[in-house]
């Protein structure tokens, strides 16, 4: 863009009936400073969704699919286990549609997430850290059975991958129509993104390789150990390869049934592990060098994208999924060392002029 160009906007050309109609159509944004010269990297910025994450897509589809099926009754309480983003998305959807929401969440996840859900009207029930994701999952099941509530079933429901097949995948195909697209890089939480994308990309862009990633210290898929399941496809036990990791929203301590479709259908071409520290580093780089503010999961996906870029053929185009915004990580290692008060350099700048100095 030339220096004398003046930015203008013209409106979207439509009015919206509710906040839910603004979900999706998130932009693919070029990386201008951090990508190697021989490749082009884009990021699909899911934090442009109204509640700040890719899970807004899943949340609205779970509720609306249940409404269509008649399994969710007017005014019925919705309950779900979540590390945060699905709960935030569900809280937004339930607030708009008038459903009470109860979320179960392990106490280890960031406090900002529970405060955001409560701000949106949800009740948040904390479960012990030692019980991991399986504990919060079982608590949600117990509450649903005890009270006759609607269990969202994000880890098993067909509405999960379906929304990515119907929205995320087609958006990517449309945005890259007539353009190269050599790689798509994504992590997994429920597995809905990779399963939904896999259905579309395998058909519409078969030349595009899908790269899946998971924490290096919690390689559930990489372990080759199958998940034990109940008859309804829910996890029967915690996966033995799981260890606690800092990439919140990724890789619970079981392999979700939604993700299993991507495994069985060979929807990804390569599985690459990533260390949480590398995710933190790259999230900070995206913020400070590109002005793109994402969380540890987004930083982790971007770190893997940079690894792919190192050996990718010249001219390759890589699309990196950024699941959420960085603001729900304030109490996590992402913000470690980011101080509230002025540091020495800032104090020196302040003292460089005589007026308006803090004591």
234 catalytically annotated: no
Residues of the chain with pLDDT under 70: 1-3, 359
CB-based contact 183:165 (threshold 8 Å): no
55 catalytically annotated: yes
List, in order, residues 6 or more apart from 91 with CB less than 8 Å away: 51, 101, 103, 116, 117, 120, 121, 122
Torsional sign, CA 67, 256, 161, 22:
positive
DSSP at 49: S
Fold of 19-48+167-335: Rossmann fold (3.40.50)
Catalytic residue among 55, 132, 139, 209: 55
Catalytic residue among 195, 297, 300, 316: 297
Strand-pair category, 40-45 with 78-81: unpaired
- In terms of Cα–Cα distance, which of 125, 118, 115, 120 is closest to 97? 120
Q: What residue spans in the chain does CATH classification 3.40.50.1100 cover?
A: 19-48+167-335, 55-151
Q: pLDDT tens digits for 320-357? A: 999 999 999 999 999 999 999 999 999 999 999 998 88
Question: What pLDDT does 84 receive?
Answer: 87
Question: What pLDDT does 2 receive?
Answer: 62
Question: What pLDDT does 119 receive?
Answer: 97
CA dist 96 and 91 (Å) reads 9
Question: What pLDDT does 1 receive?
Answer: 60
Does domain 55-151 fall under CATH 3.40.50.1100? My reply is: yes
């Amino acid at each position: 863009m030339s220096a004398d160009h003046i930015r203008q906007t013209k409106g979207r050309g439509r009015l919206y009936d509710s906040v839910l109609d603004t979900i999706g159509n998130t932009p693919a944004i070029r990386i201008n400073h951090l990508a190697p010269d021989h490749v082009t990297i884009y990021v699909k910025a899911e934090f442009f969704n109204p509640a700040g994450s890719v899970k807004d897509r899943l949340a609205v589809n779970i509720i609306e699919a249940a409404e269509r099926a008649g399994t969710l009754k007017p005014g019925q309480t919705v309950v779900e286990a979540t590390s945060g983003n699905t709960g935030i998305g569900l809280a937004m959807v339930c607030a708009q549609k008038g459903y009470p929401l109860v979320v179960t969440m392990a106490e280890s996840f960031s406090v900002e997430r529970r405060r955001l859900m409560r701000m949106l009207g949800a009740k948040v029930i904390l479960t012990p850290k030692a019980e991991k994701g399986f504990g919060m999952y079982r608590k949600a099941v117990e509450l649903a059975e005890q009270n006759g509530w609607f269990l969202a079933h994000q880890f098993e429901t067909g509405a999960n991958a379906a929304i990515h097949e119907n929205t995320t995948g087609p958006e990517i195909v449309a945005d890259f129509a007539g353009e190269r697209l050599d790689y798509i890089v994504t992590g997994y939480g429920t597995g809905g993104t990779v399963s939904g994308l896999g259905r579309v990309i395998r058909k519409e862009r078969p030349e595009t390789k899908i790269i899946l990633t998971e924490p290096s210290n919690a390689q559930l898929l990489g372990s080759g150990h199958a998940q034990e399941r109940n008859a309804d496809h829910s996890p029967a036990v915690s996966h033995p390869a799981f260890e606690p990791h800092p990439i919140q929203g990724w890789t619970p301590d079981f392999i979700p049934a939604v993700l299993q479709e991507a495994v069985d259908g060979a929807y990804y071409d390569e599985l690459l592990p990533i260390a949480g520290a590398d995710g933190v580093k790259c999230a900070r780089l995206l913020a400070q060098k590109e002005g793109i503010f994402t969380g540890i999961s987004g930083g982790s996906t971007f770190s893997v994208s940079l690894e792919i870029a190192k050996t990718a053929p010249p001219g390759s185009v890589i699309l990196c999924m950024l699941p959420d915004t960085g603001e729900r990580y304030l109490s996590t290692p992402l913000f470690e060392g980011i101080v509230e008060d002025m540091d020495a350099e800032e104090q020196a700048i302040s003292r460089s002029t005589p007026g308006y100095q803090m004591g």
